[in-house]
Structure 1
């Protein structure tokens, strides 16, 4: 599998990056976008037909999902409409929340089932999403219904994406033995800079990678107001393996 970064800015879109969105591709694999924040639909068009992708949603904060109403427009009104429905795996309230955002009139909900086949994450359930490729989701410590994702390729390599989370037992368990761990790192490690129970610091991302025995650490979800250099330095202070803060357009073989 290959992971291409469509957007990686944390909490809001940034001057040089859309918000969260990551494209998974590979032989015999339906192109799949992990999260679909503001700006991701435009970036996706450089790499894949938006009408031919499936979606994994970690949670429904705006920076992770609010280009989905635009995808509904693409699938419904493109001159050459896609065949069938896109699979969207996500939190249980995704049809309501995205339907509210896409509705023509305030107080109504757009029924997206004409173009979307929604499937709810179930804690710990492992599902196949391509020949030999599997994914499981774990609840994370973040205000809405939020999940981290553990993906195992047909070759047995493990890619873990924390989604948005604060430090918790589940994120260590999720990351255990990952070949590539992609962790959010929204803050520097200073309690004065961040409210508790929402996001990770660079220090904590490095700590997770070390305790989980990860082989490589990718940092993401760094907001425009957080220093990338400081977050990277914090992660390196806790993790001796390779550390890299991702940028739009970069690709990684998993």
Structure 2
């Protein structure tokens, strides 16, 4: 399994990174299977540094906030108007209502429009789906909109992606024993933070320790937040391998 960080800026694109987007690849039936986790605003361009968009096999969306899904509208343009011909419908796994949400985000257009270019599947809490070589299990998180963390397994390797969430036991359980724990850390301990929204670095570290993961990757840090402070917070609760991810970084299992 190979993880490439396409975008990791929290809440909106920053000067050094698009919003949330992560490319996960693994061998499958004599080729490479390519799954994208989230496709936030600004990510579609950066994704093309790593793959031809025609090579994308599926997209799994954690929740329907702009910084996690809005560039699906851009992908629709590629899918419909590619000079080599329209692409096959892209499997899209997302919270319920994603199809109509994207149709509204793209703008008025005769039906079926954007809906005809995605094969949509609604996440259900606790379900597991097989996507090529990946066994993907989701769990409902603590966020203002319906949002899911994802556990991606292939062979004996495990990646867990938190999506956006406040502290919750469901995240600790889903991440149990993961080789890589890609976890949001949007807040800092020095501020008064709203509940049920995001994690601090310290809370991400607590989740990593509770889950017994091997390596913690912090992501979704807003451009206005001091990354050094997030890292320092995380080190108060986690003493294992730690990275603050950056766009274009890769990790292999």
Matches within 5 A, 1:6-45: 6-28=6-28, 29-45=32-48
2:41 is aligned with 1:48: no
Q: Distance in 2 between matches of 1:129 and 1:11?
A: 27
Alpha-carbon separation, structure 2, partners of 1:68 and 1:109: 17
Q: Give me the whole-angstrom Cα distance separating, in 1, the residues matched to 2:87 and 2:17.
A: 31
Deviation readout 1:64-106 (Å, 9 max, x if unpaired):
111111100000001013542111101111001111011236x
- CA deviations 1:115-162 (Å, max 9, x no partner) are 21111112111111113x2001100000111000001112x1111000
1:99 to 100, 103, 107: 103
Q: Which residue of 2 aligns with 1:112?
A: 114
Partner of 1:147: 148
Q: What SS class does the counterpart of residue 27 from structure 1 fall into?
A: strand
Separation (CA, whole Å) in 1 of partners of 2:111 and 2:240: 47
Gaps of 5+ in 2: none
Q: Does the residue aligned with 2:80 lie in a helix, a strand or coil?
A: helix
State the alpha-carbon separation in 1 of the partners of residues 162 and 43 from structure 2.
Answer: 19
Partner of 1:67: 71
Residues 2, 165 of structure 1: CA spacing in aligned structure 2 closer, same or farther, 3 A cutoff? Answer: same
Q: Is the 8 A contact 2:19 2:40 kept in 1?
A: yes
Measured against aligned partners, the alpha-carbon deviations of 1:184-233 in whole angstroms (never above 9, x if no partner) come to 000111352x2111000000000001111111000000001111111111
The residue number in structure 2 matching 1:172 is 172
Query: What is the aligned counterpart of 1:86 among 86, 90, 93?
Result: 90
Question: Matched residues in 2 for 1:83 and 1:101: separation?
Answer: 21
- 2:132 is matched with which residue? 130
The answer to whether structure 1 residue 233 and structure 2 residue 232 are counterparts is: yes
Aligned 8 A contact 1:99 1:109 in 2: no
Decide whether the 8 Å contact of 1:52 with 1:86 is kept in 2.
no
- Counterpart of 1:242 in structure 2 is 241
Q: Structure 1: where are the runs of 5+ without partners? A: none
SS in 1 for 2:236: helix
Equivalent residue, structure 1, for 2:210: 211
Q: Distance in 2 between matches of 1:104 and 1:161?
A: 33
The farther-off stretch of 114-123 and 16-25 is 114-123
Query: Equivalents in 1 of 2:33, 2:113: separation in Å?
Result: 24
